[in-house]
Structure 1
Amino acid sequence: MRSPRAITLCLLTALALSGCMQQPAAMVRPHNELDALAYGGRLTVAPVPASRRDMRVRAARAAAAAPIVYAAAPPPVIHDPAYRLDAGDRLRIVVYGQEGLTNTYLVDAGGNITMPLIGAVTARGRTPTELSAAIAARLRNGYIREPYVAAEVEAYRPFFILGEVAAPGQYPFVPNMTVESAVAIAGGFSPRAKRDRVTVTHTDARGTVRLVVPTATLLSPGDTVLVDERWF
């Protein structure tokens, strides 16, 4: 016959064994990728906060990957070297090394410009290159030993538009101007305007001519555009 102490130990052992069977054993979570593969679980990587340097690197990479769109460059202003000067043209004349002579000059109604030292110089009918040579010749005659002169048109003389437009009058000329753009500057055609042909009066060294031309025709400084009225 067993002693009371032995019976007590047996009961405690039975209770402990019954408790282990009722409670499931604790699962050990994988500590690395190999453990995850072994246990068949999914590897969860905790997010690491990005440093300022990493953020700058990511921003630089994103900027480099973004497409770059370049704006179209404005078309250059074309100056005709064979252009003949006349009253109303504004010129920029540079005499290198002579600040007192370098300035902007307007061709007056008589077709001349007036400069210090040499006075009036004829500009009408000359190209800017020819005018530069004429000024240099005058300066070389007792004023400057070896003058170097450059002249260019700073602003062309205006053109005129009359007839069936919204705002007839005088307007500044710009290079490569056509009859159509001149009409647009004057506010467009009036409701009674003849839109396919206009009359252009042009004056140069050969004289004055009047031509009936389409609206795509190029104009020259000083031209007069007449927009006629249609009859139907």
Structure 2
Amino acid sequence: MRLWGLLVCLGLSLAGCATTPANVVDTGERYSSMSGGVEDYRLGAGDKVKLTVFNEPTLSGDFSVSADGSLSLPLLGDMAVVGKKSSDVAVDIQKQLANGYLRDPKVSLEIIGYRPFFILGEVKTPGQYPYASGLTALNAIAVAQGFTPRAERKVVYIRRAGSSSEEAYRLSPDLRVWPGDTIRLGEKYF
């Protein structure tokens, strides 16, 4: 009887060492290939854009969104763009250029470089990596040269850019990563 009690206590103490949190997200916008992410992308610090003002090569060029969330543009100066879609920013630029600078300007704005994502924890080479459209958590782990032997392979923690907390997600082939995300792989104990 004492041996049985000892085994029960040992089993309960090992169960307490499990690293999988109780509130793991396994559905939602990160698991859907068409919602959120790049399709509904909002500009943020570190993004690179190409501005084309047709027939105005001196106003066109490649620009980066600064740390304060603005683009520094010829004639217009600093323009706040953080949190806006590129199509909305193009319309704003077109309106401002039409207001006393150009007659009937035609403007396009495309994203040529997304802000990087970060990966840390139990991967072989944690760090900052460039984002590529359609990136999944498994792709991000592969970019960081894979799992370490002690990595938890069922759950990954993701903190969205601008958020102060991370969420636990079930690691699956369709789990999406977005530009600016911080991914953390936990350590398993057994």
Matching residue of 2:59: 101
Matching residue of 1:225: 183
Once the two structures are TM-superposed, the CA of residue 105 in structure 1 deviates from its matched residue by 0.5
Q: TM-score, normalised by structure 2?
A: 0.76
Q: TM-score, normalised by structure 1?
A: 0.63
Question: SS in structure 2 opposite 1:176?
Answer: coil
Do the aligned residues in 2 keep the contact of 1:203 with 1:209 (CA within 8 Å)? no
Which one of 135, 140, 163 corresponds to residue 182 of structure 1? Answer: 140
Structure 2 residue runs of 5 or longer lacking an equivalent are 1-36
CA separation in 1, counterparts of 2:149 and 2:161?
A: 30
Do the aligned residues in 2 keep the contact of 1:81 with 1:127 (CA within 8 Å)? no
- Alignment root-mean-square deviation, CA: 1.5
Alignment size in residue pairs: 152
| Higher share of residues assigned helix | 1
CA separation in 2, counterparts of 1:184 and 1:218?
A: 14
Change (3 A) 1:86 1:128: same
Matching residue of 1:214: 170
Once the two structures are TM-superposed, the CA of residue 210 in structure 1 deviates from its matched residue by 2.1
Which one of 117, 122, 126 corresponds to residue 164 of structure 1? Answer: 122
Question: SS in structure 1 opposite 2:40?
Answer: coil
Change (3 A) 1:214 1:81: closer
Asked if 1:114 is matched to 2:53, the reply is: no
Percent identity among equivalent residues? 37
CA separation in 2, counterparts of 1:160 and 1:80?
A: 17
Asked if 1:203 is matched to 2:147, the reply is: no
Q: Which amino acid aligns with 1:175?
A: S
Which structure carries more relative contact order (alpha carbon 8 Å, separation 6+)? 2
| Structure exhibiting the larger radius of gyration computed from Cα positions | 1
Question: SS in structure 1 opposite 2:84?
Answer: coil
Structure 1 residue runs of 5 or longer lacking an equivalent are 1-78
Do the aligned residues in 1 keep the contact of 2:161 with 2:179 (CA within 8 Å)? no
Do the aligned residues in 2 keep the contact of 1:93 with 1:149 (CA within 8 Å)? yes
CA separation in 2, counterparts of 1:103 and 1:183?
A: 34
Q: How does 1:73-112 map to 2 (within 5 A)?
A: 80-112=38-70
Matching residue of 1:39: none
Q: Which amino acid aligns with 2:109?
A: A
Q: Which amino acid aligns with 1:224?
A: T
Q: Which runs of 4+ in 1 moved over 6 A?
A: none
Do the aligned residues in 1 keep the contact of 2:161 with 2:182 (CA within 8 Å)? no
